[in-house]
Structure 1
């Protein structure tokens, strides 16, 4: 039963992101958390504060305003005190230049008593970097900005 509840909640959070609303995701973080995105580009890096993580989601929506995730699989393991969730997804977006692109990847989430203490986003970084490079060539300077990180 617990795993079904977690799967449903994860799907709801992705639905919110698909609608351009990161607030439900931000509300799920534990007081101490880590939000990481793999790679070396404008969306990469690690954040440990809500302020930096909010700025990251704001950048995500500025760069990929119609980003949409289709979940392939949501795997849940563990009890409420130590839950690991792996989400396999396909993602589409039009970027700020209107060119439709596709990507795929995984989110790995560690939950403790329903709160996210760690979120690691693992996309196809080569595909994302190509999209960001294309956006920069089209004049979007933020596509090549330094990652949003904090200590």
Structure 2
């Protein structure tokens, strides 16, 4: 039963991203949450608090305004004091130049007593980089911005 509850919480977090309801999503995180996104680009890097994660989510929405993440599979392991959820997903969007963006990846989400304490995102970093380059060439200068780190 506990694993089912966590699975539903994780599914909801992806729905919140898709609906751009970032304030609600960030409230589900510990104050000192650690969020890492693989890659050497404007979305890469590591953040260590809710404010920086919120800034990162805002940037994600500006860089990929119609991004949609589909959850393919969730596996939950552990107990309330330390839970690991592994989420396989597919992200899709239409870039400003009309090209399709498709990427597959995985989230490793650590929770403690229902709060997200760590969030590690691994995807095809070349696909992200190329998508950001296309967005930059289409006029989104922030696609070349420095990483948001804290």
Question: TM-score band (shorter)?
Answer: over 0.9
What do you get for the CA RMSD once the two structures are aligned? Answer: 1.1
The answer to whether the Cα contact below 8 Å between 1:65 and 1:96 also exists between their aligned partners in 2 is no
Partner of 2:123: 123
8 Å CA contact retained: 1:90, 1:105: yes
Residue in 2 that maps onto 1:30: 30
Tell me which residue corresponds to 2:68: 68
8 Å Cα contact 1:68-1:92 kept in structure 2:
yes
In the alignment, which residue of structure 1 is the partner of 2:42? 42
Q: What stretches of structure 1 of length at least 5 have no aligned partner?
A: none
User: CA offset at residue 139 of structure 1?
Assistant: 2.1
- Answering whether residue 117 of structure 2 is matched by residue 79 of structure 1, we say no
Alpha-carbon shift at residue 5 of structure 1 (Å) = 0.4
TM-score by length of 2: 0.95
**Structure-1 residue corresponding to 2:57:** 57
Report how many residues are paired.
150
Determine helix, strand or coil for the equivalent of 2:149.
coil
Quote the Cα distance in structure 1 between the aligned partners of 2:96 and 2:24: 24
- 1:41 aligned counterpart, secondary structure: coil
**TM-score of the superposed pair, with normalisation by structure 1:** 0.95
**1:19 pairs with 2:5:** no
Deviation at 1:95, TM superposition (A): 3.2
After TM superposition, the structure 1 = structure 2 runs for residues 135-146 of structure 1, keeping only pairs within 5 Å, are 135-146=135-146
Q: Name the SS of the counterpart of 2:86 in structure 1.
A: strand
How many angstroms does 1:13 deviate by?
1.1
Query: In structure 2, do the counterparts of structure 1 residues 77 and 54 end up closer, same or farther at CA, with 3 Å as the change threshold?
Result: same
Deviation at 1:100, TM superposition (A): 2.2
Unaligned 5+ segments in structure 2 are: none
